[in-house]
Amino acid sequence: MSEVSHGTTETKAQGEARDLLVKLVGIPSVTHKERACAEQLKTFFENHDREVWIDDAGNVRAPADDGVLLTSHIDTVPGDIPVRVETLPSDDVAWGGGGSPPGDEADVLWGRGSVDAKGPLASMAVAAVRTGASFIGVVGEEVDSRGSRYVIEDREAEPDAVINGEPSGWDGITLGYRGLVAGTYVATSESGHTSRPENNAIQDAIQWWANVEDEFDTDEWEPVFERVTPKPIDIDGGLSEDGLSVEATMDVQLRVPPSMSTEEVIEITDGYLDVADRVNWDDRVEPVMQSPRTKVARAFRGAIRQQDGDPRLLRKTGTSDMNVFAQHWDCPMVTYGPGDSDLDHAPNEHLGLDEYDKSVAVLETATERLL
């Protein structure tokens, strides 16, 4: 793996920030296997004389000034992308912000998690030690948000403000995420000859899902953020082992816009069920939409302008740990971090280090203003 070149014009602080990022990306941390990366993050805080520990869920906790809680996730999705730093023509570098990388060439870090979300994670850690803000690196965000859910239950008091780390581009501020409901449809019917006209369980599953899709079908011009998006994830069906029945199961997810609640979406989908079928709903995350006029959003707009940027206000069609925090804490929050979110989970995931530097500067300024 290539080392980050600090050069003669880079400050020591910038070099340290880049080194932390490269180290974190260089340590694989697929969900449920985050420990080694968590230990590296813990070491970074120890080297800056900060109180820090790894809690029972595997989160890295570095409490300090709760005027701001900086948090991002340690885990990544699977995928082997050789970790390296390369110098490339600027035009070949994905730039998460509204402009292009400066200059003719740019240093680029390749590796799984460079964008989602170790770029945001490292920038949060650096800003925390520079400003004295509280920090938590959470686990499990890519699967079930078990880290953030543990934090909600374990903390005695909520912070005054939350900055959640996900790629928004250095000049972007994410204010909203859709919610999520997920479950498993289950149906059973008596076995019989295929010449019979009655529906079997497989047909019931197909019909139920077709009704759900029709219910939430919208005009193609309606923004995705404002739609319910139903998606089947897995389907299985056939004769039972004893040959006496036909069984069908279907794992489904529906993304929920802020105009609806997860309960409303479940009620609608359950309305198309027959007596012999059901859905076991096992995951519910409420949507979130923050005002652009909160003190946190204002602090970021000012910090981005200070770096000669034009702030962009974003709404994301997926979900994040911000949904979990917003459901339980009544404090202002935004999501922010370097990187082009189109590269999330992608085979060519990479982050320009110039953009990372800008994000660290923006984050540090915004945090100082809030503290």
pLDDT for the residue 301? 98
Last residue of a domain, one of 267, 285, 303: 285
Task: Say if residue 295 is in the same domain as residue 170.
Answer: yes
Last residue of a domain, one of 285, 301, 333: 285
Residue 92 known to be catalytic: no
In this predicted structure, the answer to whether residue 1 has a pLDDT above a threshold of 60 is no
The residues, ordered by sequence, that sit 6+ positions from 149 with a Cβ below 8 Å of its Cβ are 324
Contact by Cβ (8 Å): 171, 311: yes
Task: Say if residue 25 is in the same domain as residue 39.
Answer: yes
CATH of the domain at 93: 3.40.630.10
Distance between CA 368 and CA 371 in Å, rounded? 5
The residues, ordered by sequence, that sit 6+ positions from 124 with a Cβ below 8 Å of its Cβ are 70, 71, 72, 135, 137, 163, 165, 337, 363
Last residue of a domain, one of 245, 262, 285: 285
pLDDT for the residue 8? 42
Contact by Cβ (8 Å): 55, 136: no
pLDDT for the residue 190? 79
pLDDT for the residue 194? 65
SS3 322: helix
pLDDT for the residue 135? 98
**Rounded mean pLDDT of 339-343?**
93
| Mean pLDDT, rounded, of the chain | 92
Which of 34, 107, 116, 141 is an active site residue? 141
Of 322, 368, 241, the residue nearest 72 (C-alpha): 322
Residue 330 known to be catalytic: no
User: Locate tokens 């909600």: which residue?
Assistant: 152
Q: Which pTM was predicted?
A: 0.90
Task: Say if residue 167 is in the same domain as residue 28.
Answer: yes
Task: Say if residue 106 is in the same domain as residue 241.
Answer: no
Task: Say if residue 18 is in the same domain as residue 151.
Answer: yes
Residue 49 binned pLDDT confidence (cut-offs 50, 70, 90): very high
Q: Which amino acid is at 191?
A: S
Contact by Cβ (8 Å): 316, 289: no
Q: How many domains does the chain contain in total?
A: 2
Task: Say if residue 133 is in the same domain as residue 263.
Answer: no
Distance between CA 241 and CA 133 in Å, rounded? 58
Distance between CA 79 and CA 85 in Å, rounded? 18
Distance between CA 350 and CA 339 in Å, rounded? 8
pLDDT by residue (tens digit) across 265-317?
A: 999 999 999 877 899 999 999 999 999 999 999 999 999 999 999 999 999 99
Contact by Cβ (8 Å): 2, 84: yes
pLDDT for the residue 193? 59
Distance between CA 331 and CA 345 in Å, rounded? 30
pLDDT for the residue 270? 96
pLDDT by residue (tens digit) across 93-131?
A: 777 776 666 677 889 999 999 999 999 999 999 999 999
Residue 3 lies in a domain: no
pLDDT by residue (tens digit) across 146-196?
A: 999 999 999 989 999 999 999 999 999 999 999 999 999 999 987 765 666
Task: Say if residue 158 is in the same domain as residue 183.
Answer: no
- The β-bridge relationship of strands 53-54 and 60-62 is antiparallel
Task: Say if residue 271 is in the same domain as residue 312.
Answer: no
Domain with 31 in it: 12-177+288-370
145 token code pair:
């948000």
Which of 34, 75, 166, 344 is an active site residue? 75
Residue 361 binned pLDDT confidence (cut-offs 50, 70, 90): very high
Residue 252 lies in a domain: yes
* Residue 247 bridge partners (DSSP): 188, 238
Task: Say if residue 321 is in the same domain as residue 218.
Answer: no
pLDDT for the residue 2? 44
Task: Say if residue 24 is in the same domain as residue 128.
Answer: yes
Task: Say if residue 202 is in the same domain as residue 310.
Answer: no
Task: Say if residue 226 is in the same domain as residue 324.
Answer: no
Residue 199 binned pLDDT confidence (cut-offs 50, 70, 90): confident
pLDDT for the residue 100? 62
